[in-house]
A and B are shown apart, each in its own frame.
Chain A
């Protein structure tokens, strides 16, 4: 009599067709055009990047589209020693939360162009885009952000986003 079965492997494959939604679609079209398009909540006035359908604080549909800058402040960050980025990248790398000028929410982006141990909260950064011909309907058109060299932003100016 052979050993009892202790496990089986069942491959599961399910295909889904995703619909990003109306305001996410507009955001993605904006990215294809090299623009970061957020939406403003008509109730609290905050600009969400990327917008997902409605303001999560107010429960109200977005209306006004707002283009935000592709430069901003590095609000906080992590120095990563495990390769999660789905790309070949030297370790350690920095993943940062960037508050683009004009936006009220942060976006997670790779930070390059500076040694990991020199990265600081408050650093001013700007987007480095992929070559235009590689642009698609994705936030990943922004390959990474790099320091602009400007003086760091005042802690008080971004503290609430930390």
Chain B
């Protein structure tokens, strides 16, 4: 992709919890935005436009919340866009913001993603009984569990692969002060013995429901060069979508995901992702998605993703650390989760990831997906200008 260079100048997020009773929706997003600006060494006056993203409006009971939030985000008199691409929204929001800078339309864009799902009822919103539609039989996990079963069948993966992922992510979360779930006593046994919800998914292998917000300031090359703070150069972005219900869709290893990965690697000049990417933050809401996405992203051959998990390759001290922040399994403000992946990848190459920093991370991948494994958004960020 042509276009000008763009970089992440600063990031901010809130401490993710089940219910933020101390802030309104505006307060929540403002907190993340304030932190991103502070991290970037900038003020609201330096921002040219705001791009905000979140999942369905019914999660909070506010229609088109950018209208209500414009003032809180310093957007009065500025352009403001609200992106909605289901679960991948946090990622695609960051990408829209990046495009505005790469196109030369703006110098500095504030991008925010959030969910304050305790305000409404996300479970209700996800399962509204629409007349004439197929009756819901088993909820969200019930949609993904059969797909996971399909993966296990196709790959012959050991049945405790999911437990390994959940353990790793929850241990990583202990190093991330913003993560929702901090379980210092978490153990393999605890996970393996937790209740089976939708076989093969156990309770401890599922993501929490969180209130949270994430924000970044994306700037032009000039803005990045002028900054005294560490920046993350955006080497590539890509989005791909496919239908929900298509005869012949591969939901275990989706075509759109594979295409998206190929596109983002091509733009970033990556030919061997396993070697050239130092770490990745990928969207894993149920543990088994880690081995599935490792294959979809080309880090492992089809059917071999589980080996990387079992061999400890994806541990924080492994060859390809995955979800050093604890990932979606440890924090899931739905609309923000995608942006958190992009944000955490950026922090890795900026060297600002604190206790969950991968040493010398120079290139990282941020990944988000949504819908029935049909919407994908990815970016590659690097410490070096490219």
A→B interface (CB under 8 Å)? 6-7, 10, 12, 18, 20, 24, 28, 44, 46-48, 50, 52, 56-57, 75-82, 84-86, 92, 95-97, 104-105, 107-110, 116, 121, 137-140, 159-160, 162
Contacts and interface: CB of A to CB of B under 8 A. Distances in A.
Interface in B232-258: 243-248, 250-252
Given A78-B149, A162-B150, A84 B196 contact: no
Given A75-B146, A81-B198, 4 more contacts: A76-B153, A86-B135, A97-B146, A104-B247
Interface of B: 21-22, 61, 127, 129-132, 134-139, 141-143, 145-147, 149-150, 153-154, 195-199, 201, 243-248, 250-252
B137 A56 contact: no
A162 to B, nearest CB: 4
B247 A85 contact: no
Top 6 A-B pairs ranked by shortest CB distance?
Answer: A79-B199, A56-B243, A78-B145, A104-B247, A162-B150, A46-B247
Nearest to B148: A78
B245 A105 contact: yes
B142 A18 contact: no
B139 A82 contact: yes
A81 B136 contact: no
B23 to A, nearest CB: 10
Contact of A48 (B132, B134, B197, B245): B245
A78 B247 contact: no
A18 B138 contact: no
A85 B248 contact: no
B121 to A, nearest CB: 11
Given A18-B131, A56-B243, A80 B198 contact: yes
A4 B242 CA distance: 48
A60 to B, nearest CB: 12
Contacts of B198: 78-82
A10 B247 CA distance: 43
Contact of A76 (B129, B147, B246, B247): B147
Contacts of B146: 75-78, 95-97
Given A78-B141, A84-B142, A95-B138, A121 B21 contact: no
A84 B136 contact: yes
Contacts of B251: 162
Contacts of A104: 247-248
Contacts of B137: 80, 84-85, 95, 108-110
